[in-house]
Chain A
């Protein structure tokens, strides 16, 4: 199945969602959802440490667990998949960087070896990225259409925050 088919054939589970008024609890859940979406969008953004991701995922799970609707189990399942994929992306990126640097400074290592290392990493990265994009679609399908603008607003705010925190200028 092609990537496009996978995305377009995703079942729409919005009909089972009972997302309603933006109560504080709901707002909290939406914020957490948006944070997850940001991770999905940013994909490989480098986080200053694993703790930031751990904290975000923990907050996400806590918020989703409180969600008073039938969609909560589905949302939590998505969040766990996002957590797994995001962590795998970060881990593989760190591993690749270390290995790339190590081999680069060894004059006995051929350019072909480096190119193969890059190619292997790139294939894995694209797969994980596409998985995250697929999860974003699932996330979108899990919240009501009316509330998506709210999610988008929070998403944009979170994106700026995460982008700032993941900036190399932070050291």
Chain B
């Protein structure tokens, strides 16, 4: 499965994001991107790197929100049970954020497809 799709989809899902957060460091795709673009023009390299950097930061921000919401819940639930219904406002915020991040994912992936072409695009995202 393409790496970014895996990271994005998995990290956008609730839960299981504590461990995955570290995968979303800005360095996760950048080295691969630099290899793929080794012979490309500096301008193309800069554009592609900026797109991937932006995307990874958006996903990382989302992941931090997930950790915050679920972390708060887990911390309080350890003391006394809290119905998941108490998380409804947090879930609503995360759902809205997911929608926004997914839009960015689509836009950036399509921009990269146009910029890199299908072969390099697959080389970047294929795990």
Contact = CB atoms under 8 A, between A and B. Distances in A.
B19 interface: yes
A104 B91 CA distance: 27
Contact of B19 (A7, A111, A163): A163
Interface residues of A, number: 43
Nearest to B10: A46
Which of A98, A105, A115, A152 has most chain B Cβ within 10 Å? A105
B46 interface: no
Contact of B15 (A44, A98, A148, A167): A44
Contacts of A87: none
A156 B1 contact: no
Contacts of A118: 99, 102, 106
Interface of B: 1-2, 5-7, 9-10, 13-16, 18-20, 22-23, 70, 74, 77-78, 81, 83-85, 87-88, 91, 95, 98-99, 102-103, 106-107, 109-110, 113-114, 118, 121-122, 125
29 contacts: A4-B85, A41-B15, A44-B16, A45-B16, A46-B16, A93-B13, A96-B9, A97-B9, A98-B1, A101-B1, A101-B5, A104-B2, A105-B118, A114-B106, A115-B103, A122-B95, A125-B13, A129-B91, A133-B84, A148-B81, A152-B77, A152-B78, A156-B78, A167-B19, A167-B20, A167-B23, A168-B6, A169-B19, A169-B23
